[in-house]
Amino acid sequence: MPDTVLSQFTQSYTEEKQASSKKLKIGIIGCGWIAEAHIESYLEMDDVEIVGAADLIPGKAEAFMKRYGVEGVRFYPSHKELIDNEQLDGVSICTYNTQHAAPTIYALKHGVNVLLEKPFTVTLDEAIEVMKAEKESGKVLSIGFQPRGDLNMQMIKKIVESGALGKVYYIQTGGGRRRGIPNSTFIEKDTAGIGALGDIGCYSLDMVLNAIGYPKPLTVSGYKSAYFGQNPEYATADRFHTAEENARRFSVDDFAAAFVRLEGDIILDFRISWAMHMNTPGDTIILGTKAGLRIPSTDCWNGSVGGEMTLYHDLAGVRMEEKIPILKDNSGHGLFYKKIRGFLDAIINGTPAPVPSSQIVINQAIIDGICKSAELGREIEITIPEV
Ligand SMILES: NC(=O)c1ccc[n+]([C@@H]2O[C@H](COP(=O)([O-])OP(=O)(O)OC[C@H]3O[C@@H](n4cnc5c(N)ncnc54)[C@H](O)[C@@H]3O)[C@@H](O)[C@H]2O)c1
């Protein structure tokens, strides 16, 4: 083969290699608490370059990057300047809930792939606007539900999909804490929009809805209250506010419950708590025509299951109880690493988002429905607009 032809192959092979070893340019929007988990994972990855960071609070992004010893990063006062001035492959949006929709829409409209922290948004309307921007952009939008990477969470879905439960007809889920209101930007309507519902409720909903294939919700009768957050006896102080101040600031839910009808004749019985006079609002149970699954309760489903699960079924007329051992992850990577890696691999390979908006919009519609139903004091129908 003539050398000229061979050198063409060599050249294109080298270009391909260079292209595949190109670092992804990443920005971080919102440099608060959860951004720490994002940067720690990004810093473990060889194919990532953090190029910019934004925070509304002057000096916060700079201090954040300094803490992690990340150099050569440019800093911006909000998501807009960051997106306008950097050629980004992707952004982590780590802002508080009421600032999820606007930066995500802005990033997508400017051709940037987005990893958005949970909950998706505050309202269903916002989620739909985000999905419209996602559709027009053709970019990756993945929502930050790291428990999707947990082997035990995956086991719940595998059990349902194996058919071992038969037809699923009833689910009780939720969880939460006797005391555990997070304060900070989580308790004001202006920043959080929703309380326990958005902070931890979205996780328990994702755990069971993902397992059963995210059927659409039809109706919801919802309830929410704030008896603990607004009471100075139960409110707690933080670095910036006394307990009395936090009780006055508290303008979201600290407890919510709902009865949701899902497509496929499935009932979802849900409750979530940041504070209550009870140790637990109960285990998660999934009832099917062939077997039932019990998943021990936890304060928050943001990682793994609360303990060994139990499968209840009959065998040759004998009532059986089988323990499902906790699976250990030997991958050497944490859930945040996996969530971020999944997002980046979707960008690189042009594959669908690991946690797609088409699923999480259903989670959001239920949360939105609970809020609306609670405000009206009656059951309502849930309609999710087509995007
Ligand atoms: N996946 C998880 O396990 C997990 C855990 C905790 C929090 N979260 C989610 O992460 C989000 C942030 O939580 P947090 O505890 O880090 O909050 P935080 O208040 O500590 O940080 C949010 C930061 O975003 C900044 N910000 C807001 N709007 C902005 C904008 N438009 N441009 C630039 N900066 C902006 C704020 O100034 C603030 O510094 C919340 O939605 C929360 O639900 C997820």
CB-CB contact of 252 with 190 (8 Å): no
Closest ligand 1 atom number to CA of residue 60: 39
Selected from 3.10.20.440, 3.40.50.720, 2.30.30.100, 3.40.1390.30, the CATH number assigned to the domain covering 3-146+337-356 reads: 3.40.50.720
Amino acid at the residue 279: N
Residues with CB under 6 A from ligand 1: 29-35, 54-57, 60, 78-79, 94-97, 99, 103, 117-118, 144, 146, 184-185, 199, 302
Q: Between residues 15 and 228, which one has the greater pLDDT?
A: 228
The C-alpha angle 129, 131, 134, rounded to 5 degrees, equals: 115
pLDDT tens per residue, range 78-119: 999 999 999 999 999 999 999 999 999 999 999 999 999 999
Over residues 218-243, the mean pLDDT reads 96
* pLDDT at residue 31 tops 90: yes
Residue nearest (by alpha carbon) to ligand 1 atom 37:
56
* pLDDT at residue 338 tops 70: yes
Annotated domain spans of the chain: 3-146+337-356, 148-327+363-381
Closest ligand 1 atom number to CA of residue 55: 34
Q: Which of 40, 94, 188 to mutate to test the pocket of ligand 1 (most atoms within 8 A of CB)?
A: 94
CATH architecture of the domain formed by 148-327+363-381: 2-Layer Sandwich (3.30)
pLDDT bracket for residue 9 (50, 70, 90): very low
* pLDDT at residue 7 tops 50: no
Which pLDDT belongs to residue 22? 87
Residue nearest (by alpha carbon) to ligand 1 atom 39:
32
Maximum distance among all Cα pairs of the chain, rounded to whole angstroms? 85
Sequence-distant (≥ 6) Cβ neighbours of residue 159 within 8 angstroms: 165, 211, 293, 311, 324
Residue nearest (by alpha carbon) to ligand 1 atom 27:
95
* pLDDT at residue 74 tops 80: yes
**Residue 134 and residue 111: Cα distance in Å, rounded?**
9
Closest ligand 1 atom number to CA of residue 57: 37
**Residue 36 and residue 65: Cα distance in Å, rounded?**
10
pLDDT tens per residue, range 266-280: 999 999 999 999 999
Residue % of the chain over a pLDDT of 90: 94
